[in-house]
Structure 1
């Protein structure tokens, strides 16, 4: 008789255990982790750079870790904020995992860090299933991506504590339908806050920092309905992600 082993659940269960440990460690040291998810090209690096600059102006101790399959371009941009920045190259892996994140923080993250912003790999499928031990999960979508993005990626949007719309300065040009987008978000994640931003014009800049600081101070978070339907804090029972790539070779580079 053949025994069927659910590798997906085994992988996610192992990650959940690592996330639980990392969350406890970060909480004990007084650091809140903000996990930022989006598609490639959504503008998350541009917005995050503005948020880091603002945090530095306010004397908030922050750091940022950014993950990509290749290149250190994003870390170089974020380093202009003059806060601690680390680039993680995943060597083809399409997402970060809790154990991987924890390994890269060891010996690098300053002791007084209040907020750690994690810019996940540009992808709305794989990263959605992996809890990173975060305090706050944020999903971004640009106005160029279409109003139906939340319906196409219900796990990513359905598990978010906060949804951020980027590039609103060109919303009119691309005929972005804000009402339709908000309606679609509401369908997959009722009650979640939707914030409109433009890194170029400054609209909404500072809101992400404010929400992250509030979460760090213990303010109640929006509870996604999808999260209530499963034992795992960030997993949807309907998600069918099955990647089991090895990430032992992932490398990291620190920018002063």
Structure 2
């Protein structure tokens, strides 16, 4: 059970405000505390507990060296997700979800490689040999790819999990992840179906403060996992002094 301070922080951020009662999904009933003025109020004790559970799982994924793909294309969430996911060195999609992003990952990777090709052309001088019209076309293509896929340049293999803000809006991402058996972590509001989500975080997915506090917690957990991985790697490497002694022993033998 989370402590009162955690719940108060969620309360201050407005995480408890759900949708109008007439827009609810009955499957969210276990996470709803009450109805007030025609709006469902989310049980923040359950939110805090579920957030803790999700963060622990995210930390383990990061510690294993795998990537978590963040997805949020709604206006009030995209900048927040780009900031926190970027700081955690994780890939993210904040523009339109590219159809087949997961189910046709090879094609998406080819598109990303086109960006790298243009960059190489600019470095080795081939870009300058193109006509003005061709350079304009290449630049437009590069800019479009950068806008939609620039944040996943370093994602060379399928993500280990998805973190989604608003599963109703990002239903295509949810569908692709389900098809491939990729675990889904998500902020789920009272108008969404939580049944297919592996790690449900019942929360207001419309208010920027609510999105910020939840996504930051997830990103901080990932950072902690990366730190765990770094410490583990350092522990496995012998100190310079120990390595020198080992080398000296080998020479004596």
**Shorter-normalised TM-score: what interval?**
0.3 to 0.5
TM-score for the superposition, normalised by structure 1:
0.32
- Computing the radius of gyration from Cα coordinates, the structure with the larger value is 2
TM-score for the superposition, normalised by structure 2:
0.33
Whose helix fraction is larger, Structure 1's or Structure 2's? 2
With a CA cutoff of 8 Å and minimum separation of 6, indicate the structure with the bigger relative contact order: 2
